[in-house]
Structure formats: C-alpha cells, structure tokens
Structure 1
C-alpha cells in the first residue's frame, strides 16, 4: 500500500514537470498561429470634407456706394462627393457659388462674396454661411471686413415727418459735414417725395465744416404714405450718391381707429364683439351714410349716425352664429358725406374653430 502511494506521488511530480517544460512551446505555437493569420480588414467610410484656403478677408478702405468682391476657394479633401446645400449672408453682403454645386473628391470650388458699402460709415463686418453635407463641418462661416470711408456725413440718416394733415406744413433739416481734406461742392439735392421742398443752402463745404439743408413738407393730397429718398450728389464724387430715406403719413380730418380689427380665435357659434372709433376733427357735422361688411357673418351696428365737430363715435361689430370654420379676412367700409374722405375702411380678420 505504501509502495503504491509513493509511485503515484512520483508519477504526479513527473507529469507536473513535463507540463511546465511544455508551456513555452505552446506559447510559441500560439504566437506563430497569430502571426500567420492576417487581421480582418476594416472598410473605410466614405465622407466628403470641405476645406477652405481662408475664412477671412479684409477689403481695407472703400468709399460709400461702392461694391467690392472676393473669391473664397475651397477643396473637397474627402473621398465622397461634396454637396453645397445653401449660402446665406448678412445685410449688405451677397454670396454666390461660382462653381458646381457638387464637388467630387479632390475637386475645387469657389464662393464669390460681394459687399456693397451703401451708406455705411467706419468699420463694417459681415458673414457668409456655407452649408454642405460634410458630416464633421456642415456649416462654415466666412467673414469679411472693410472700413467705409465717407466723404460726406449726413445727419440724421433718415427723416420721419410723422402724421400730418393736408395743408399742414412741417419742416425738418439735414446737416451735411465734409469729412475730407479738401473742399467739397454740393452739386444737387434731389427729392422723390411729392410736395417736399428743398431750401437754399451753402453749396461749398470746407474740410471739417458743415452746411444745413432745410426741408419743408406741405402736403396737397390726403391719405397717403410718404415713402421716398433724398439724394445728395457732390461735384468731387459724381458717381456716389448719399441717400436719406424719408417717411411719413398724410391724414385727414376723419380718423378711423383701429385700421386692423382682429376677432381672435372663436369657437363655433361663439359671439364676439369688436369696436371701431370714428373721430370727426373737422368743423362740420359728419354724416355716416352706410356701414358695410364684406363678411356676411359680421354685422355692424349702424343707425344712420352723425358725428358732431370735434367729437367721436364708436360702432360695434358683432359676429353671427353662422360664421364658417377656418380663418377669415375681410373689410368694413364706411361711407360719409365728407368730400375729401367719402370712404373709410378697416381690415377684419380672425378664425373660427371646428
């Protein structure tokens, strides 16, 4: 029995030593097997890649009312077609793709950016946004800068005469300053606005000095919006016009408020009321001859009313249950005996839910 246990112990030790001796050979065999088995190939993804040579350009000094352009060049450094989806720019700047919208791998493209100095003055910065199918850089921002050198400075930059009546004269003025180092002579001051008169002024302006141009508006017509420009041209810069926008409104003695009446969102068969106010600023009694709605389901309250001088009257507009579902737009018209304002009108709008 003792002999058997001793034999088994020796046999176990022998097997253990043999196993330890064989371990390096097994590791070597596994390493050889790994080296002989080629790694699995990873398929490369195909994507476009947009790369601009530059994303900023400085035009330097330019004069007013001038346009300058610069071309931004780019390349598709990816391995799939690059598609330019959109170009957007900020005010005073335009952008155009002067090459194909689709750029193949390795191909080149160009974006032309044009800046118009208009009436800008001093440093101006603008941006262009280039959108493409590049997954890593879908929107590229191109920036430009310039310094707009004005030869004349005009204040104010726009004129608003506000609301005024027919025959009611109102005055405004423009101050024009010479920003150059030499005298400047005003060649012409021209207005597109009817009934706007331009007064006399000193035409020659020395460096750093200014002249004042007086303007008088005396409207001869009623109920019109004043929209137009004043243009100033100098002999030294005949191709450059300074443009000053002009606005205002001519009103009559009869005023209807509000001019836009919104009934809101109404439920089906819901009744709603809105009021309009008519003011008679004339010296005579105003007769309302007829009040008519272009929408059958909006009824104006009217009883052949008259409005005394310097007085006001409110009319009620009511919706009827027959109002159809959906949005609506219409007009309310009021006929009067005033020869200058025989017809007053206001817009109607709203919506009826199902």
Structure 2
C-alpha cells in the first residue's frame, strides 16, 4: 500500500512538472509571437496590401446548438510579407483562428471562425470579426456573418 502511494506521488509529480514545462514553453512561444507582431505593427515602412476574397458569410438557418464553421480567405497583393496581428470576434459566442506566419506576396491566408449558436436567443444573427493586419489598406477590416437560429 505504501509502495503504491509512493508511485502515485512520483507519477503525479512527473505529470505536474511536465505540464508546467509545456505551459511555460507555450507562454514563451506566445510571448515571442506577441513581441514580433508588436514590431511588425510599428514597422509601417514594410506594410503591404490585402485583398479579401470573401468578407461576408451567410450560414443560412441552423438549429440552436449547432456549431457553425466559417472560413474567410484573403490574398497578399502587396510586395512585403503580410501578417495577421489579431482577429477579435464581436462576442464570446465566436472563436477565431488565423494564419499565424508570414503570408508572402501573392499567397493566400485564411481566417477560420466557429460560432456557437447555443449562446444567445433564436432568430436573426449578425456578428463580426475585426481583423488587424500590417496593411496600408484596411488595417482593421471587419468581416461579418449572418444567419438564423431556430
């Protein structure tokens, strides 16, 4: 019994230390990314141009509780690398993910959003995402999606 307790304590300690190290690495990676993006955001001499291929989505009518997946695409039409600095949903019912690295000239990037229709009431839905980029045109562009929840 004492032997099992010691093994459990050792396993718990190893798991705790491993999780702590992973969390620290994730925090360090996030801090490096934030530092780089802060620099990119201030480096206006290297801003580029963006062209949104789609900026408004209509997801139609869904049943309450449905997870709605949306994908927006854009292209770097300038001469410098394009960076998405941030994507801010208009409410807590939407989560966004986006291309994290440099989008080279001529290349396509994407923003993926997930809308949880379980939040809020039924009826017409109009939500938005504010996209911040290192671009001279539309540095704070608003993407939108609409639909109905039954």
Query: Which category of TM-score, normalised to the shorter sequence, fits these structures?
Result: 0.5 to 0.7
CA contact (8 A) 1:46 1:78 kept: no
Q: Which residue of structure 1 aligns with residue 147 of structure 2? A: 146
**Residues 46, 80 of structure 2: 8 Å contact kept:** yes
Quick check: 1:100–1:109 contact (8 Å CA) kept in 2?
Answer: no
The list of structure 1 runs, each at least 4 consecutive aligned residues, that deviate by more than 6 angstroms after superposition, is: none
Deviation at 1:46, TM superposition (A): 5.9
Residue 204 (structure 1) aligns with: none
* Residues 77, 105 of structure 1: 8 Å contact kept: yes
Aligned match of 1:120: 121
1:136 is the counterpart of 2:137 = yes
Which has more radius of gyration? 1
Deviation at 1:104, TM superposition (A): 1.1
Alpha-carbon distance between aligned partners in 1 of 2:100 and 2:64, rounded to the nearest angstrom: 33
1:93 positional shift = 1.3
- In the TM superposition, what are the counterparts of 1:177-326 in structure 2 within 5 Å? none
**SS state of the match for residue 102, structure 1?**
coil
Q: Give the match for residue 94 of structure 2.
A: 93
In the alignment, what sits opposite 1:106?
Answer: 106
Deviation of residue 101 (structure 1)? Answer: 2.9
Greater strand share, structure number: 1
Greater helix proportion: 2
Whole-angstrom CA distance in 1 between matches of 2:87 and 2:77: 20
Residue 126 of structure 1 deviates from its aligned partner by 0.4
Partner of 1:36: none
CA–CA distance in structure 1, aligned partners of residues 126 and 101 of structure 2: 27
Aligned mates of 1:80, 1:102 — CA distance in 2: 9
State the alpha-carbon separation in 1 of the partners of residues 84 and 56 from structure 2.
19
**Distance in 2 (alpha carbons) for counterparts of 1:86 and 1:100:** 9
* Mapped partners of 1:61, 1:84: distance in 2: 30
Deviation at 1:100, TM superposition (A): 3.5
How well do the aligned residues superpose, as a CA RMSD in angstroms?
1.5
Specify the SS of the correspondent of 2:127.
Answer: strand
Equivalence for 2:33: none
Alpha-carbon distance in 2 for matches of 1:143, 1:113: 11
Query: Residue in 1 aligned with 2:84?
Result: 84
Secondary structure in structure 2 of the residue aligned to 1:103? coil
Contact 1:50–1:78 (Cα < 8 Å) also in 2: yes
- Written as runs of structure 1 = structure 2, the 5 A alignment for 1:24-35 is none
Aligned length: 104
Cα deviations by residue, 1:325-351 (Å, 9 ceiling, x for unpaired): xxxxxxxxxxxxxxxxxxxxxxxxxxx
